[in-house]
Amino acid sequence: MAKNNASVWTSIRFWRRSAAWVTGVAVVLLIFLTFDTMSQIRMGTDKELEQGIKRRIPAPTVINHHIDYKYDEKRGMEVPVIGKKEPFFGKEWSPKEARALLHLGKLTVQAKNCMDCHTLLGNGAYYAPDLTKAWLDPMWEKTMPAMTGKKTKEEAMAEFLMHPGQYRTHARAMPNLKITPKEAMGVVAFLKHMSSIDTNGFPRGFSKVIKEGKTGGTYAK
Partner 1 sequence: MLSKTAHLSPSKQLAMNYFRVAIVLFGAQLLFGLLAGLQFLFPDFLYNVLDFSVNRMLHINALVVWMLYAMLGSVYLMLPDETGIDHPVAIGLGKLAFWVLTAAVTVVVLVYLFIQIGPGKESTIWFINEGREYLEAPRWADFGIVVVVLIFYANVFFTYMKGKKTGIMTVMVADLLALAGLYLAGMFYTDNISVDQYWWWWVIHLWVEATWEVFVGTLAAYGLIKVLNAKREIVEMWLWIEVLMLFGSGILGLGHHYFWIGTPEYWWEIGALFSALEPVPLVAMFVHVLYDWGKEQGHVQAEGKRTAIKNGPAIAWISINAFGNFLGAGIWGFFHTLPQVNIYTHGTQFTASHGHLAFFGAYATILIGMMYLGIQESYGIERMKATFKSKMAIVLITFGVVGMTVALTIAGYEQVLVERAELGAGWQAYFTAQNLPWYIQAQVWREIMGVVTFVGFVYLLWDLLTIGKKEAAAE
Partner 2 sequence: MGFHMFEPCTDVACNNIFAWLNQGPLTLTIVLHTILILPMFWIYFSEKKKLGK
Residues that bind ligand HEM (CB under 6 A): 122-123, 125-127
187 binds, among ligand HEM, partner 2, ligand HEC, none (CB under 5 to 8 A by kind): ligand HEC
Task: Using only the alpha carbons of the chain, give its radius of gyration.
Answer: 23
Cβ-proximal residues to 54 (8 Å cutoff; 6+ apart), any chain = 198
Residue 15 near partner 1 by CB under 8 A: yes
For the residues of 121-180, what is the DSSP string, one character each?
Answer: TTEE-SSS---TTGGG-GGGTTHHHHHHT-SSHHHHHHHHHH-GGGG--SSS-PPP----
Residue 117 near ligand HEC by CB under 6 A: yes
Phi-psi region of 41 (alpha: psi -120 to 50; beta: other; left: phi over 0): alpha
Question: Residue 161, exposed/middle/buried by CB under 10 A (0-12, 13-18, 19+)?
Answer: buried
Cβ-proximal residues to 123 (8 Å cutoff; 6+ apart), any chain = 115
Choices 21-29, 112-120, 176-184, 204-212 (CB under 8 A): range interacting with partner 2: 21-29
Residue 137 near ligand HEC by CB under 6 A: yes
Question: At its nearest, how many Å lie between partner 2 and the CB of residue 130?
Answer: 22
* CB nearer ligand HEM, residue 74 or residue 172: 172
Question: Distances in Å between the alpha carbon of 168 and those of 63, 144, 164, 219?
Answer: 27, 10, 7, 21
Q: Give residues 66-105 in contact with partner 1 (rule: CB under 8 A).
A: 99, 102-105
Residue 101 near ligand HEC by CB under 6 A: no
Residue 42 near partner 2 by CB under 8 A: no
Question: At its nearest, how many Å lie between partner 1 and the CB of residue 173?
Answer: 7
Question: Distances in Å between the alpha carbon of 148 and those of 35, 154, 155?
Answer: 45, 11, 9
Q: Give residues 171-190 in contact with ligand HEC (rule: CB under 6 A).
A: 172-175, 177, 187
Q: Give residues 36-55 in contact with partner 1 (rule: CB under 8 A).
A: 36-38, 40-43
Site residues (vs ligand HEC, CB under 6 A):
108-109, 112-114, 117-118, 127-129, 131, 134, 137, 161, 168-170, 172-175, 177, 187
